[in-house]
Structure 1
Amino acid sequence: MAVSGRKLPDFQSSVSKGSAEDFNHECDPCLSDGLHEDAHGYCVDCKEYLCKNCFKFHQRTKVFNQHQLLDKDDMGFYETASTPSQVSTEKCTRHANEVIKFFCPEHKALGCHDCMTMDHRTCKIDYIPDNCAGIGDSEEYKGTMWLLNQKLKEIDSVMKKATVRDKEIDVCYDNLNQEIVKFRKEINDRLDQLQKQIEKEADRKKSDDK
């Protein structure tokens, strides 16, 4: 039977339910830790199979107390009756094998199952797929995307100006180096000229003295 949290639609008695013998999945959270435990149930919200311990933990933890949990008896029906839905694929930066599914409004933090369990056990957690359902059609989303597009255009404009300015800086640097070299050559040429004049005057003076 479905347990805890929100209730699933009542199943018609005429539909044959999957038996325990047909339920041969392994616990997903345990698999992420390299353990192979037979699944005892399934969380519709997390889309994960759960062993007995993980199933009980799901029921007792505040973060998951609104999740739809199915035991073995209901799994056969649900797997054939459920329709595909959009599933988050963004991986957690802290737990590589976990997907980001939750948001903590209090700490403004996104996280996976493990993040919420360890760091936000007492917080009121939002389940992202539920909160974001149909968000693409909302005016707030469209307005945000329009503003984001404008910002991207501004960034592109700034980047183009920065590229032009960067080239101008390089040209100015090269010109300055050329001016330095030219000025150094003019100084050297003038010193050479003065040296020759002084040497010529010294020769004349020496001749007169002799």
Structure 2
Amino acid sequence: MEVPGKKLQAGPNAEDTTYCQPCEQDDENLPAEAYCTVCKEFFCSKCASLHRKQKMSRSHTLLDKSNMLTVISGPENKHEYTEPCGVHPEEFIKYFCNTHQTLICGHCAVQNHRSCHADVISDVSKAFKNGKEYGDAIKTIAGLFEDIDSCASSVEINVDVVVKLGVNEVYKLRRYREEVNKYFEEREQALLKLIEKTKNMDEELLGSLKPKYENLKSKVEEINTTLEARGNNMIQLFIETNRAKELLEGLQIELAHINKENVIHHYEFRKDPTTERLIVSDTGLGTLEHIVTEPHKIASASGISEYLITFVITFDETEYNN
């Protein structure tokens, strides 16, 4: 019976020749030059080169002609040994070393495990599927699936938390910024009103003094005109001058009152020291505190415990800005 990958030649010097299995699918019999330990297939040089270049198989281990297996099991021998040894690729794994808990081939057993207790895999594997070791592995897998699903659920929850947290904190920051803006807007308006009120008071005062000194000036001009008119009559000039003395004294008193009232408010805007410190600080408006939360201690399906720890850390904004 012909086995895939092998061609038996009849005759007294019959020998098995290993052929490229992919090429056999195209009815071509090309001698095998390599063997893939992953695909469990023989390849000619051309197919081997292509196998090395393909993305899905470029990481596979190919044994050359001097090291590759010389026998391949047919489909009717699916429980035969087919896994090559990692130390001796030309040999199949046939034994399990209980001492070192490792899979070994015949060469390994002779070279490095002479004094160990080794079992033949074909013997110990018969009832393996119904045994405790396989059952524990299946339980561990099931537990891992459960824990992975739980982890995935937790990640999805945190995705929502991250989005909502960002939206909420940006909202709070901008609301507070609006409050700050409103406060400074109100303070600005209050100061502007005070300046306007003071300005109006001073303008009103100065406006009230103008008719006073103009009236005063008019009276002085009138006296001066009278005296000039009497300049050619010494008697009249004498009389008018003596009459003018009392009037001039009164006018001097009025001028003194005008000068006394001529006082305005001198003022200047001075920056608030607290606001100045706020402007030059790195924490103006507020800071961002980092709260790290981990789950409470809970026994998971895989036996891994989880904890809840909360930390509050102030962000170093300069680190993020750089």
TM normalised by structure 1 equals 0.48
Q: Which has the higher contact order (CA 8 A, sep 6+)?
A: 1
TM normalised by structure 2 equals 0.34
Q: If you compute each CA radius of gyration, which structure gives the higher value, 1 or 2?
A: 2
